[in-house]
Amino acid sequence: MPELPEVEVIRRGLAGVLTDKVIIEVTVLEQRSFPGFNARTPGFIWGARVDQVKRRGKMLMIELIPRVKTRVAASVYPHVLMVHLRMTGQLIYRSEDNDGFAGGFASDSLVGSLPDKSTRVIIDFIDGSKLFFNDQRKFGYMKLMRQDLLDQDSFLSSLGPEPLDETLSWQDLRKSIGRTSTTSIKAALLDQKRVAGIGNIYADESLFRAKVDPRRSVASLSPVEFRRLLVAIRACLRQSIADGGSTARNYVNSEGLKGEFLDLHAAVYGRTGLPCPHCGTPITKIRVAGRGTHLCEKCQV
């Protein structure tokens, strides 16, 4: 599943091509991929203009400005089209001018003729361009919500703070994670209810940079270590965004290219047996919180 940097790269790609596009049709080929879509839903979308593309954790949020007021009162409310790619989701934009992008799970669908057997939702814009939501395993989804009711969404309301939010202090992070918790710090970082957007890759890399053993309990971390951890998390995420994300197995960024973070900057993740870049000790792989976890036993204490 893509983590925060990969979703942010796709968000930027979407913003570059979708902003100010006007929707004229939404075709749902798989109901499970657009829960809540019914006969009334097109009335809330038809004629809406894409205002902004935002992100919350690993969720993409396409903000829509409604068309002029009609007899359908609900249609005058700004809506948000939420997209969660999960494991095999793809967003592919195609236009008549052949400009576009493809991001998400790497498969032939990114470059092949669309729609194909993995296409679940098609969004048509007034200029003839299209956005395809593909998902082989059907774990991802699109969802339409009124903007003023977003705080009632069970997923969004459960998310922890954004690690790249400049107003987030190390004290805020410690409070959200639970400073007296006996949970391992690795498990806490993976818990989206404690902090949003961090997955296995960036948890391992952040803990290495912060010199913290992933097996330690949250309660055992000192204020100095929490400060280091927040700095490390932000540095890893920002570097990965600059590199186009990371490629673990089958992920590509919004230009259809593999992200380079793992190749260029990973210190521990996927480097089992290779020397630690700081001390030369072989990187080990263990299991923490049910996940493969990479660390340097000497540098991380």
Q: What is the pLDDT of residue 207?
A: 98
| Helix boundaries (H) for the chain | 4-18, 41-45, 154-158, 170-177, 185-190, 200-210, 223-242, 261-265
288, 58, 241: which is closest to 159 by C-alpha?
A: 58
How far apart, in whole angstroms, are the C-alpha atoms of residue 120 and residue 97?
A: 24
* Cβ pair 192, 156 in contact under 8 A: no
Q: Using alpha carbons only, give the angle 110, 128, 135 rounded to the nearest 5 degrees.
A: 30
How far apart, in whole angstroms, are the C-alpha atoms of residue 102 and residue 159?
A: 27
Question: Can 166 be counted among the known catalytic residues?
Answer: no
- 10 CB contacts (<8 Å, ≥6 apart)? 2, 60, 85, 91, 103, 104, 253, 254
How far apart, in whole angstroms, are the C-alpha atoms of residue 10 and residue 24?
A: 23
All domains in the chain, ordered by first residue: 4-158 (3.20.190.10), 170-295 (1.10.8.50)
CB contact burial 204-214 (16+ within 10 A = b; e otherwise) = bbbbbbbebbb
CA 278 from chain center: how many Å?
Answer: 30
Q: What is the pLDDT of residue 105?
A: 83
How far apart, in whole angstroms, are the C-alpha atoms of residue 229 and residue 203?
A: 10
Identified catalytic residue from 56, 58, 215, 228: 58
> What string of pLDDT tens digits covers the 301 residues of the chain?
688 998 999 999 999 999 999 999 999 999 999 999 987 787 788 899 999 999 999 999 999 999 865 555 445 789 999 999 999 999 999 998 866 788 888 788 888 899 999 999 999 999 999 999 999 999 999 999 999 999 999 999 999 999 999 999 999 999 999 988 999 999 999 999 999 999 999 999 999 999 999 999 999 999 999 999 999 999 999 999 988 776 443 444 444 445 566 666 789 999 999 999 999 999 999 999 999 999 999 999 9
| Cα–Cα separations (whole angstroms), residue 228 to 174, 179, 181, 259, 277 | 12, 15, 19, 26, 18
Give the helix/strand (H/E) hosting 36. Answer: none
Q: What is the pLDDT of residue 96?
A: 85
**DSSP state for residue 236 in the 8-state scheme:** H
* Dihedral of alpha carbons 46, 48, 49, 50, sign: negative
What pTM value is reported for the model? 0.88
Specify burial of residue 156 (Cβ count, 10 A radius: 0-12, 13-18, 19+).
Answer: middle
User: What amino acid is encoded at 186 in this protein?
Assistant: K
How far apart, in whole angstroms, are the C-alpha atoms of residue 225 and residue 237?
A: 18
Question: Can 162 be counted among the known catalytic residues?
Answer: no
Question: Can 58 be counted among the known catalytic residues?
Answer: yes
* Cβ pair 254, 14 in contact under 8 A: yes
**DSSP state for residue 31 in the 8-state scheme:** G
* Dihedral of alpha carbons 87, 135, 38, 69, sign: positive
Identified catalytic residue from 3, 6, 8, 225: 3
Identified catalytic residue from 115, 238, 291, 297: 291
Question: Can 277 be counted among the known catalytic residues?
Answer: no
How far apart, in whole angstroms, are the C-alpha atoms of residue 3 and residue 6?
A: 6
Identified catalytic residue from 2, 5, 66, 161: 2
